[in-house]
Structure 1
Amino acid sequence: MSHILLVEDDSDIMRINRSFLEKEGYTVHCADSVQTASFMLEECIPDLVLLDVMLPDGDGMDFCKILRQKTQAPVIFLTARDENDSVVMGFRSGGDDYITKPYDLNVLKARIEVQLRRNVKQAPQHPKIELPSLTIDLFSGTVTLDDNEYYLPQRELQILYMLASKIGSRISYRDIYKTIYSCDVDDNKNTIRVNISRLKKHLNMDDMCTYEIAATSEGEYVLRRVIF
């Protein structure tokens, strides 16, 4: 399930887009300002960003430049301006596509699908996730957390990477098992529980750690940043 960050200050457009995209199976996170979107990026890294150009507290194109320092997720600009200069500025600021309002929702869906497919194909062979106070490098097998470097066993490293790639979102133990072990069995809940327990111990995730891994009663896990 792909996560989309929708940055839009028009409440009607936000509501319509969110309802449509959720029916299509996406998880949609909404922000109505640059400030709110910036805060949400600290909690959850999206798979794609739908970004309005004209926002109440800033310009979407300027925000896109900041966004590019945190993620290479595709950015689709949503704007009422269709001048050539605006289109060129959108691409130069780091955008991947540009849709002029009003637009057909099925066209929006198609554009999203194209960008998500393209992003998967262009994903680096040795991916790295960089969050505030947390860096995960699958190639070197290292994790840097709160200025401390750790070397993790492969399974634990993959689990942490999976949780961090969807930070702030719940992931079921079944989905973790399928991804990490490339198979599915009925009795896999305890395996994931043990792996995550070891992961937390290896990273010294105590009360003073910047991040925590929480479990739900439904067997889901979520990595989230702790605000002291």
Structure 2
Amino acid sequence: MSKPRNLVLLIDDEPKIRRFLRAGFEIHGFSVGEAENAADGLKIATFNAPDLVILDLGLPDLHGSETLERLRSWSNVPVIVLSVESDEDEKVRLLQAGADDYVVKPFGMAELLARSDAALRRYFKSATENPVVVVGPLSVDLVSRTVSLNQTRIKLTRKEYRLLHVLAVHVGLVVTHDQLLKEIWTGNQRDNIQYLRILVRKLRQKIEADPNQPRLLVTESGVGYRLENRMETSVAD
């Protein structure tokens, strides 16, 4: 059964490198976004919430280290830096600045994919004590992006999974309407709570035994939603 795919953002000004990376990541099951400069890369990262960023240091408009600094000011997304230089001091400085890994050109695609999988696994393990969040009959694997109900895999759309992912990372805690809207939508849709209510209703149809009396995805009236880790009953929104 198909599952939502991790989105990797490639920020590199060389078209040949981007084509090479895109082919490798798509074969490995990723969705791929591209940017040829820092400005476009930061914009895409803001509105599309990638799961992983591959960042070249030699960008035409902004050095990769400054791009990393700006990205880290608001996002904890895993970042792997690409560079033609292998200077040890620079590598240490970038890692201290928030890069998750550093790969020197030229490199093999197999190595980069292995480092990417490792970075994603570290990220999700740090986001939660366990990369697999289990709530009653519901299991959400944040690394493989699979969702199971009563040990049977279920299929979610990308937005449904994104909603569940955000709630699973904050399991047991309330996530506000505004935060969920910003995580899932872009543009004018980010201001329309009705989109969120419709998406919550669709997700409940797939994960709740009784969507009208939800026990997993519960409503905090006037505030937001919570993935319940105590399995209490709540009134649907």
TM-score range, shorter chain: 0.5 to 0.7
Counterpart Cα distance in 1 of 2:33 and 2:122:
21
Aligned counterpart, 2:27: 23
Counterpart Cα distance in 2 of 1:145 and 1:112:
30
> In structure 2, do the counterparts of structure 1 residues 47 and 85 end up closer, same or farther at CA, with 3 Å as the change threshold?
same
Structure 2: gaps of 5 or more residues: 130-165, 187-198, 213-218, 224-237
Aligned counterpart, 1:69: 73
Secondary structure of the equivalent of 1:54? coil
Q: Is the 8 A contact 1:6 1:28 kept in 2?
A: yes
> In structure 2, do the counterparts of structure 1 residues 178 and 28 end up closer, same or farther at CA, with 3 Å as the change threshold?
farther
Aligned counterpart, 1:145: 178
Give the counterpart letter for 1:24 in structure 2.
Answer: H
Counterpart Cα distance in 2 of 1:80 and 1:176:
45
Cα offsets for 1:67-93 (capped at 9, x unmatched): 112221111001101111211121122
Counterpart Cα distance in 1 of 2:84 and 2:28:
24
Counterpart Cα distance in 2 of 1:108 and 1:26:
13
Identity over aligned residues, as a percent?
A: 28
Q: How does 1:132-171 map to 2 (within 5 A)?
A: 140-143=173-176, 145=178, 160=180, 164=183, 167=185
Deviation at 1:119, TM superposition (A): 1.1
Aligned counterpart, 1:84: 88
Aligned counterpart, 1:117: 121
Give the counterpart letter for 1:91 in structure 2.
Answer: L
Give the counterpart letter for 1:100 in structure 2.
Answer: V
Structure 1: gaps of 5 or more residues: 126-134, 147-159, 182-187, 193-198, 204-228
Aligned counterpart, 1:150: none
Aligned counterpart, 2:57: 53
> In structure 2, do the counterparts of structure 1 residues 113 and 31 end up closer, same or farther at CA, with 3 Å as the change threshold?
same
Count of matched residue pairs: 165
> In structure 2, do the counterparts of structure 1 residues 176 and 32 end up closer, same or farther at CA, with 3 Å as the change threshold?
farther
Cα offsets for 1:144-203 (capped at 9, x unmatched): 539xxxxxxxxxxxxx48x92x556xxx99x9469854xxxxxx9xx69xxxxxx9xx79
Aligned counterpart, 1:94: 98
Aligned counterpart, 2:228: none
Secondary structure of the equivalent of 2:127? coil
